[in-house]
Amino acid sequence: MRARTSQILTRVAEAVFPPLLALLIAFVVGDVLILAFGKSPAAVYRLLLEGTWRNPYGFGQVLYKATTYAFTGLAFALARRAGLFSIGAEGQLAAGAFGAAVVGLALPVGTPWAPAAGLCLVAAAFAGGSVGATAGALKAVFGEHEVIVTIMVNFIVLAALNWVVATRLHDPETLHTPAIHAGAFPRLSEVWPALHGSAANFTIVLAVVVVGAVAALLSLTKYGYQATAVGLQREAAAAAGISLGWTWFIALTLSGAIAGLGGANFVLGYKGYYEDGMAGGAGFSGIAVAVVGKSPFGVLFVALLFATLSQGGLAIHASMPKQFVEVLQATVIFTMAAVTPGVRAMIAGSRVARRAAAGEAS
C-alpha cells in the first residue's frame, strides 16, 4: 500500500515538476526579451491576460485555438507512444480541413445537419489519415525515418493543396474554396452568448471526446498495449511477436486521422471554407503541446496554455511584436526537454535515498 502511494506520488511529481520548471525558465527568458525591447514585463503580461482570460471574446478565441492544438497535440502524442516522432500534423491538419470542405461543398444545400456533419468529419479523418498512412507505409515497408518522411510529406501535401485551391477550386480573387453547403458546427456563443464574435465552436466537444478515446485506446485496448510496448522497447516487443511495421503504420494512420479531424475546427466550426495556409503552424505547435502535456489529458491542459500564449501574442501587439510568443513557445519546449531528465533523476535519487534511510532505520 505504501509502495503504491509513493509510486503514484512519483508519477505525479514527474508529470508536474518538469513543466512548471520549464515554464518558469521560459518566463524568465521572456522577461529578458521584453526588457531588451525596453518594455515592462509586468505590463506586457497584464496585457496578455486581459486580452485572453479576462474578456469573453479573448477567452472564446483561446478555446478555439486550444481545440486545434488539442487535435494536433494528440496526434503527436499517439505516434509518440509507439516511439515515433511525427512532424506531419501540419500537412494532415490542412488535408483534413480540405477534405471536410470538399465534402461540405459536394453535399446539396439543405442536407440534414447530423449526416452532413458526420460525412464531413469522416472526410476530414480520412484525408488526414491517408496522409499519415502514406508516411506510415514508407516507414513500415522501406524503413525510412519518420521524421524525414513526415517533413517531406508536409511539403508535398501543402504544395498540392495550394495547387488545387489556386487552380481549380477557389472563390474569385481569393485563395479559399467556396463556402460549404451543409455540416457547419454551431458556435459556442449560441449557448453562451458572452462569447459572441469569437470563433469558439462545438468542435471543442469533439476534441474532448477524442482525448477520451485516445486515452482509452492507449490504456484499455490490445493495440494500445502493443504500441506502448513498441514505444518503450522495440526489440523486446518484436521478440514478443508484435509486428513493428504494422504497429507503426496504424499509429501514423490514426495520428494523421486525428490531426485531420482538427481541420473541422476551422472549416466546419469557424470559416465555412478551406483556405490556403489555414494550418498556420498549428501542426508544429501540437508537437510542443504533446511534449509538455505527455498524457492525452495533459495535452488538453497544455493546449489551453499554448492557445493563451498564441491569442496573447495578438493582445500584446501594442507593446511587443506578436512573434514574441513564438519565441516563448519554442523556449518552453526547449527547457521542457532539457529539464526533464534531470528532474527525473532527482526524483529517482530522492526515492533511493529515502529507501536507504528507511533501510538503515529498520
Q: Return d(Cα 195, Cα 345) in angstroms, integer.
A: 45
Residue 362 in the binding site for other proteins (CB under 8 A)? no
Q: Cell 479573448, residue?
A: 58
Whole-number minimum distance, CB 205 to other proteins, in Å? 29
Say if residues 182 and 107 touch (Cβ distance below 8 Å).
yes
Q: Pick from 13, 21, 25, 33 the residue near other proteins by CB under 8 A.
A: 33
Q: Pick from 337, 348, 353, 356 the residue near other proteins by CB under 8 A.
A: 337
Whole-number minimum distance, CB 300 to other proteins, in Å? 20
Q: Which of 268, 271, 254, 273 is CA-nearest to residue 210?
A: 254
Give the sign of the dihedral formed by CA 199, CA 51, CA 33, CA 321.
Answer: positive
Q: Please give the residues from 254 up to 273 whose contact with other proteins meets the rule CB under 8 A.
A: none
Amino acid at 351: R
Q: Output DSSP code: residue 54.
A: T
Residue 282 CA from chain centroid, whole number = 7
Rounded to 5 degrees, what are φ and ψ at 314? Answer: -70, -35
Say if residues 310 and 325 touch (Cβ distance below 8 Å).
yes
> Which C-beta is closer to other proteins: that of 119 or that of 158?
158
Task: Give the interface segment with other proteins, choosing from 231-239, 244-252, 337-345, 352-360 (CB under 8 A).
Answer: 337-345
Residue 340 in the binding site for other proteins (CB under 8 A)? yes
If one counts every other C-beta atom within 10 angstroms of the C-beta of residue 114, the result is 9
Residue 162 in the binding site for other proteins (CB under 8 A)? yes
Whole-number minimum distance, CB 77 to other proteins, in Å? 13
Q: Please give the residues from 309 up to 328 whose contact with other proteins meets the rule CB under 8 A.
A: 321, 323-328
Task: Give the interface segment with other proteins, choosing from 47-55, 110-118, 156-164, 182-190 (CB under 8 A).
Answer: 156-164
Q: Return d(Cα 193, Cα 170) in angstroms, integer.
A: 33
Residue 244 in the binding site for other proteins (CB under 8 A)? no
Residue 240 in the binding site for other proteins (CB under 8 A)? no
- Interacting residues with other proteins (CB under 8 A): 33, 36-37, 85, 87, 138, 142-145, 147-149, 151-153, 155-156, 159-160, 162-163, 166-167, 284, 287-288, 291, 321, 323-331, 333-334, 336-342
